[in-house]
Amino acid sequence: MNNTAATVLVTIALLVTAVAATGAVLAREPARQAAALAVSGLALAFLFAVLQAPDVALSELAVGTAVTPLLILLTVRKVRRGRERDR
């Protein structure tokens, strides 16, 4: 991979990461935020891969796109279940 191509890839990855992180904050409904966080994790994993950090990319893929959103979704499910019973 030559240097210009790397620069372009890194720039794109950085911008996508920034946008995805912003999206994850602005998604105020938790279930949608879980999805946005998964996207943001994906963007980060891509960025890390471009930055020659495959180990970190793999971790972020496992944690950022799978475990964290899953935990949030499970929490949302529990929270919602309570709310339905309240009615």
Partner 1 sequence: MTKAWRLGLFGVAAAVLAGWWAAACVGLPGFGGQVHPYGERAVGASLERHTANVIASVNFDQRAFDTLGEESILFASVLGATMLLRVARDERRQRPLAARVMPSTRLFGAVLLPVTLLTGAYVVAHGQLSPGGGFQGGVVLATGLHLAYIAADYRVLERVRPLTVLDVADAAAAAAFTVLGLVGLVAGASYLSNTLPLGTFGELASGGLVPIINAAVGIEVASGVIVLLARFLDQAVEVGGGPGDGGSRTAGKEDGG
Partner 2 sequence: MSGVMGWLPYAVAGWILLVGLYGLATSRNLVHTVGCLAVAQSSTYVLLLAVGYRSGGTAPVYSDAEPGTPVVDPVVQALVLTDIVVGATVTALLLALVIQIRKRHGTVDPERLTELKG
**Per-residue tokens: 41:** 């994790």
Element containing residue 2 per DSSP (H, E) = none
Buried residues in 54-86 as b, exposed as e (16+ CB within 10 A): eeebeebbeebbeebbeebbeebeeeeeeeeee
- Give how far the C-alpha of residue 59 lies from the chain's centroid of Cα atoms, to the nearest Å: 12
Show contacts with partner 2 in window 17-56 (CB under 8 A).
17-18, 21-22, 24-26, 28-30, 33-34, 37, 40, 44, 47-48, 51-56
Using rule CB under 8 A, residue 15 touches partner 1: no
Site string for partner 1, 55-74 (x = CB under 8 A): x--xx--xx--xx--xx--x
> Which entry of partner 2, partner 1, none binds 33, CB below 5 to 8 A by partner kind?
partner 2
Question: Which of partner 2, partner 1, none does residue 21 bind (CB under 5 to 8 Å by kind)?
Answer: partner 2
